[in-house]
A and B are shown apart, each in its own frame.
Chain A
């Protein structure tokens, strides 16, 4: 099944199209997409429907439908002094 992963950071949004099976874990998908975007996977999470996806969960367990649009975003944004 096909999913889309968008990284809506920066003026030109990166978009990945990814072919997965329902048993793929979110962690596996994240790893693959991070390689494609050139992003350190430790700093980011996959998000869908306004929540952070659990990396040990699978595509089917997380209830992600075909052609869903996931977002790749940082875990948090921290400002400090």
Chain B
């Protein structure tokens, strides 16, 4: 994402940077652009730099220099924040090199409005750019947008506020003072006259101040009366803030708020950009009386869990007097999944249901849509695919699977709770960790024969018993409190069997393979014939079988 919005920069700042570039015709210069924002536009108010390493093809503003600039900003020794960076090209003109785009993208991580300024140190030409993070291409900011429209100051200074703690408000831009004209040669008499006039003016000024200023002079007469808006507040619903402001020479009333979407936890981080908006006069009122100012935070911005805000009023004095309310925190209704992850093990063919509780925060009860985002494994269905639930009710999902459903272990299915309001989607996700398991049985070969064994004979030879191999596969996650039993059905009278465990293996994926020897013997009374039988495995309510196995008694 990039934004081709207006970049306002005064001729003085351009001149300052271009001059620095031209003074170093053989090496590049680099620095940062300082300023603020007006509407959606960057306003560059100054350019600063520190010690940097440079040659003809490269200039690096070092971490130490950046750290010093950062310290100056944090401690308000310089106004505004970093809205861009500049550097010069000794050769090649005004363009963004690969290195430049890389640096620009590094800075754009913080804000898409950050702008690069490139100066040709030979011609003094300059241009403004941003970069596309995907294509790694530079995007020129159109020159008419980056023009010199701000050489005359805006009629009313706007206020850019720094998000600092405790909430400190700072006037970030004042109308720019005109550059002092070059001193003309003057006579000593003129200087004397000027000095006397200035002295008189200063004395007069002090006298006038003493006369007009109320006692305790210098304190502001601004006051703000504010009652926080009445709850409840829920995500997606606008909140209107009103403030009654009294004061002469009032310049503006600003609402500063930030949306806090996660509760602070031990070691956790709260982040929210401080948004500053001018509050508007609700109704016409005379400048000396109390006037009501109002601002409505739009529905699209109101998300949980909290809105922190305060209101400031500024007057037209220079520097302005400022009054500020306390910082208020409003609880905004919201919902979350009770668990980030829910484990469930289902057996093939057996219907299971899972309950996923939703927690309601600050009495939120609006319906949210539950959606199954991840495709379940083959042969597995999770229903309903979409359903509305009102927190704090739970989402209840039913899981069914066919007998050939894909066996899986800890398969993550993302489930979203979606709340759409005024075209803004609020999505909270949880994970259903699904294990599909079963037991399986296989028998080989499918046909064996045996001689009958008469009592008194030694029947240990292989002719006297039919031997099959039974393989039982128990997949990861399968448990059966009553154990797993293997039985045979369909054998004729006077035929006997025994099952002996030969081998037991556990594979890396947790699958257990048990190999058994199944021996069937026929007693002398058994009837010579071909028989069909089944091997059945039973585990609790689960039954699997291998049918139509052949067993023949021969003479």
Instruction: Tell me the A residues contacting B by CB distance below 8 Å.
Output: 4, 6-21, 24, 32-33, 35-40, 43, 45, 47-52, 67, 69, 71, 73-81
Q: Which residues of A contact B106 (CB under 8 A)?
A: 40, 43, 74
A16 touches B68 (CB 8 A): no
Give Cα A18–Cα B505 distance, bound, in whole angstroms.
51
Decide if B438 is an interface residue (CB 8 Å cutoff): no
CA distance A36 to B58 in the complex (A): 32
**Which of chain A's residues have a CB closer than 8 A to the CB of B270?**
16-17
Interface window among B97-105, B341-349, B401-409: B97-105
Query: Which residue of the partner chain, among A9, A13, A16, A49, contacts B114 with CB atoms under 8 Å?
Result: A9
A14 (CB) vs chain B CBs: closest residue:
B273
CB of B73 within 8 A of CB of A81, answer: no
B36 neighbours in A (Cβ, 8 Å):
11
Asked if B271 lies at the interface with its beta carbon under 8 angstroms from chain A, I say: yes
> Min CB distance, B376 to chain A, in Å?
30
Which residues from A are CB-within-8-Å of B37? 11-12
The answer to whether A77 touches B32 (Cβ under 8 A) is yes
A51 vs B265: C-alpha distance when bound (angstroms)? 29
CA distance A66 to B465 in the complex (A): 84
Q: Tell me the minimal C-beta distance from A64 to chain B in angstroms.
A: 13
Contact between B114 and A80 (Cβ–Cβ < 8 Å)?
Answer: no
Q: How distant is the Cα of A21 from the Cα of B268 in the complex, in angstroms?
A: 12
Residue of A15, A49, A79 near B103 (CB, 8 A) is A79
Residues from chain B with Cβ under 8 Å of A7 in the complex: 110
Residues A37 and B73 in contact, CB atoms below 8 Å apart: no
Residue of B nearest to A38 (CB): B109
A74–chain B nearest beta-carbon distance, Å: 5
- Check A79–B59 contact: CB distance below 8 A: yes
Across the interface, name the chain B residue whose C-beta is closest to A43: B106
Q: Mark B507-527, 1 if CB is under 8 A from A, else 0.
A: 000000000000000000000
Q: Which residues of B contact A35 (CB under 8 A)?
A: 269
Smallest CB-CB separation from A71: which chain B residue?
B70
Given A77-B61, A78-B58, A11:B67 Cβ within 8 A: no
A4 to B63, CA, bound (A): 20
Alpha-carbon distance between A50 and B89 when the two chains are bound, in angstroms: 28
Q: Is B160 an interface residue (CB 8 A)?
A: yes
Q: Report the minimum CB–CB distance from B32 to chain A (whole Å).
A: 7
Contact of A71 among B71, B98, B118, B271 (CB under 8 A): B71
* Chain B residues whose CB sits within 8 angstroms of the CB of A17 once the complex forms: 165, 264, 269-271
B255 within 8 Å of A (CB atoms) = no
Indicate the member of B36, B58, B74, B85 with the most A CB atoms within 10 Å. B74
User: What are 24 A-B pairs with beta-carbon distances under 8 A?
Assistant: A6-B74, A8-B70, A8-B162, A11-B42, A11-B111, A14-B110, A15-B164, A15-B165, A15-B274, A19-B264, A19-B268, A45-B67, A47-B70, A50-B68, A51-B67, A71-B71, A74-B107, A77-B60, A78-B59, A79-B58, A79-B88, A79-B89, A80-B99, A81-B89
A29–B258 Cα gap in the complex (Å)?
22
User: How many residue-residue contacts, CB under 8 A, span A and B?
Assistant: 185
For the A-B complex with A9-B111, A17-B165, A78-B103 known, give 17 more contacts whose Cβ atoms are closer than 8 Å: A11-B81, A12-B275, A15-B163, A15-B273, A19-B267, A45-B67, A50-B70, A71-B71, A71-B73, A74-B66, A75-B63, A77-B30, A78-B30, A79-B99, A79-B100, A81-B57, A81-B97
Give me the interface of B with A, judged by CB distance under 8 Å.
28, 30, 32, 35-37, 42-43, 57-64, 66-68, 70-71, 73-75, 81-83, 85, 87-92, 97-100, 102-103, 106-107, 109-111, 113-114, 118, 160, 162-165, 258, 264-275
- Complex Cα distance, B50 from A50, in Å, reads 12
Q: Could you tell me if B74 and A71 are in contact, using CB atoms closer than 8 angstroms?
A: yes
Question: What is the CA–CA distance of A15 and B87 in the complex, to the nearest angstrom?
Answer: 28
CB distance from B273 to the nearest CB of A (A): 5
Report the Cα distance A32→B258, complex, angstroms: 20
Q: Which of chain B's residues have a CB closer than 8 A to the CB of A38?
A: 109
For B63, what are the chain A residues with a Cβ–Cβ distance below 8 Å?
45, 47, 52, 73, 75-76
**A20 is contacted by which of B83, B91, B267 (Cβ under 8 Å)?**
B267
Q: Are A10 and B113 in contact (CB under 8 A)?
A: yes
Residue of A nearest to B103 (CB): A78
Q: Are A49 and B71 in contact (CB under 8 A)?
A: yes
**Nearest neighbor of A50 in chain B, beta-carbon distance:** B71
Q: In angstroms, how far is the closest chain B Cβ from the Cβ of A55?
A: 12
- For B99, the chain A residues whose CB sits under 8 A away are 78-81
- Most B C-beta atoms less than 10 A away, residue of A45, A47, A77, A81: A77
Residues of B within 8 A of A81 (CB): 28, 57-58, 89-92, 97, 99
The reply to whether A11 and B30 contact each other, CB–CB distance below 8 Å, is no
CA distance A8 to B170 in the complex (A): 14
Docked complex Cα distance between A75 and B67 (Å): 9
Q: Which of A9, A18, A48 contacts B110 (CB 8 A)?
A: A9
Nearest A residue (CB) for B109: A39
Contact status A4-B165, CB under 8 Å: yes
Contact A32 B70 (CB under 8 A): no
Q: Are B70 and A40 in contact (CB under 8 A)?
A: no
Hey, which chain A residues are within 8 Å of B97, CB to CB?
A: 79-81
Complex CA–CA separation, A38 to B81 (angstroms): 19
B22 to chain A, nearest CB (A): 16
